[in-house]
Homo-oligomer: A and B are copies of this chain.
Amino acid sequence: MSQEETVGELEQSVGYLLKRAAAALRAAMDAALRPLELTVPQYACLELLSQRPGLSNAELARGAFVTRQSMNGVLRGLQDRGLVTRPETAPHGRARPSELTPGGRQQLHAASAAVRTVEQQMLASLSSTQRGRLLHDLAACADALTPTAATRD
């Protein structure tokens, strides 16, 4: 095993740190969700539906940062397990609004607790002020890169 004698300049890059933190969070969430038989996208889908019931497949996909095709598979898996319901026929347009079942809400409750534990572990060494700043700065970073043209020159 080689030791990190050279503190690479990579550790000074926000992009690299962002990737590292996201990878670590993803791995930790995956491990925390595994006992519940849930993947991270599945959990994200449940959380999204809990806070905003009636979202369509495409809206869920955007919210979970995956493609519509992937979210379709996720949604089908959750539907087969009876955690979400989708009407067979679209009430308006082509979008079929999904909703949580009582079982889905219960599953989400357990999953949310596990994820919250992971998040608290991640933020353990940060004060409340630091967390707020981190929240604000991350949002600024994300907004600055979103192609929604929030700011024009």
Chain A residues close to B by CB (< 8 Å) = 2, 5-15, 17-29, 47-48, 50-52, 59, 63, 65, 108-109, 112, 115-116, 118-119, 121-126, 130-131, 133-135, 137-147
Q: Which residues of chain B come closer than 8 Å to A9, judged between CB atoms? A: 51
Known: A119-B15, A137-B133. A146 touches B24 (CB 8 A): yes
Q: Are A14 and B140 in touch, CB under 8 angstroms?
A: no
Q: Which residues of chain B come closer than 8 Å to A27, judged between CB atoms? A: 145, 147
Q: How many copies does the complex hold?
A: 2
Of the candidates A21, A109, A142, the one having the most CB atoms from chain B within 10 angstroms of its own CB is A21
Q: Are B14 and A135 in touch, CB under 8 angstroms?
A: yes
A123 to B145, CA, bound (A): 9
Q: Are B123 and A17 in touch, CB under 8 angstroms?
A: no
Which chain B residue shows the least CB distance to A147?
A: B27
Q: Are A21 and B142 in touch, CB under 8 angstroms?
A: yes
A125 to B14, CA, bound (A): 14
